[in-house]
Homo-oligomer: A and B are copies of this chain.
Amino acid sequence: MIEEDLKKYDSFDDCPVRNVLDRIGDKWSILIISLLGECGTLRFNEINHKIGNISQKMLTVTLKTLEADGLLSRKIYPVIPPKVEYTLTPLGESLLPAIHTLTLWAVENMPAVLASREEYRLAVAR
């Protein structure tokens, strides 16, 4: 019984912010979306080099997830060596303003957060 009875009181599963963070709150998604938002279209290795410290595996995995979610599209040129281009879909582009808002907050307020955290650390250490 319990499993189902609890679900109707489960505010968690229906929270839209959590749903979106479950999709794009991982380590690389938003970074890739921002990058494509700036640059328009990029090849696999271009993204790889621009980010710099992402593993090839995670880049592949993240791009595939974003494609499955309909946030970016993949164009394969049947040439050798292979050439693949990634571009945001309109759905992906629609996410840019939200990311931008979050970015602005970060630029303005992260220094305060870091300062607070340092102060807290010192207070606890004492």
The answer to whether B53 and A107 touch across the interface, beta carbons within 8 angstroms, is no
The answer to whether B106 and A16 touch across the interface, beta carbons within 8 angstroms, is yes
The answer to whether A91 and B113 touch across the interface, beta carbons within 8 angstroms, is yes
Contact indicator per residue, chain A 3-32, by CB within 8 Å of chain B (1) or not (0): 100110111110111111101010100110
For chain A, give the interface size range.
Answer: 35 or more
Please tell me if A61 contacts chain B, counting CB pairs below 8 Å: no
- Cross-interface CB contact of A112 among B70, B102, B113, cutoff 8 Å: B70
Q: Which residue of B lies closest to A20 (CB)?
A: B106
- Report B-chain residues with C-beta under 8 Å of the C-beta of A3: 38
Question: With A and B bound together, what is the CA distance between A90 and B70 in angstroms?
Answer: 36
Please tell me if A79 contacts chain B, counting CB pairs below 8 Å: no
